[in-house]
Amino acid sequence: MAFPWQNLFYVLAAACNREEHTMNEHEHFMQIALEQAEDALAHGEFPVGSVIVHEGRVVASGQRRHTLEQKESVNEIDHAEVLALRSLLARETAVDPSELVVYATMEPCLMCFSTLILNGIRRIVYAYEDVMGGGTNLPLAQLNPLYAKMEVTVIPHVMRQQSLGLFQRFFANPENQYWKDSLLANYTLNQ
């Protein structure tokens, strides 16, 4: 004879197993984004990496570019998420954007977050919070109709410590001038 609480146990156990599987999946893809960020850092760039995943496989990737230039000429468009999205769109692959998941080693800024959601992406996973320019806390429901009905899932802090280490290395290097002495740099170095 089965007791009602046994059914509840099986439902909870299945839910925990799915959550664990999902977290392992998130860590797997975040590791790939971290490799992109590590490569960016090795080239002196701000260590942000991003991958776009569809049905369990990476379909595009990108890493931050053009932060090496002097402050007056830094390109603030070539963010990792935008470059990954451009790479995906250039392939003209027919994919339902609501099935995509974007992984980024830093919380997407307002520009990247808006670009992703306007392109139909509704799931974003990031590692390290951007206390200075993060855009994922944008109150979509309070905005104009285009945004107000969007439902976006954001999962923060997946492999946060590994990403934090990259940003600490970047900001600790006196040769790197990008966002030097900023709120983000100070927040990062004081951890």
Sign, CA dihedral 96-28-162-16, equals positive
Task: Report pTM.
Answer: 0.87
102 pLDDT exceeds 70? yes
Predicted confidence at residue 73, as pLDDT, reads 67
Average pLDDT over residues 47-53: 98
Q: How far apart are CA 135 and CA 150, in angstroms?
A: 15
Taking the CA atoms of the chain, what radius of gyration do you get in angstroms? 18
Q: What are the C-alpha distances in Å from 145 to residues 3, 81, 148?
A: 48, 25, 5
Q: How far apart are CA 172 and CA 189, in angstroms?
A: 7
Predicted confidence at residue 132, as pLDDT, reads 96
Predicted confidence at residue 43, as pLDDT, reads 94
- Are residues 154 and 124 in contact, defined by beta-carbon separation less than 8 angstroms? yes
Predicted confidence at residue 72, as pLDDT, reads 62
How do residues 106-148 score in pLDDT, each as one tens digit?
999 999 999 999 999 999 999 999 999 999 999 999 999 999 9
Catalytic residue annotation: 81
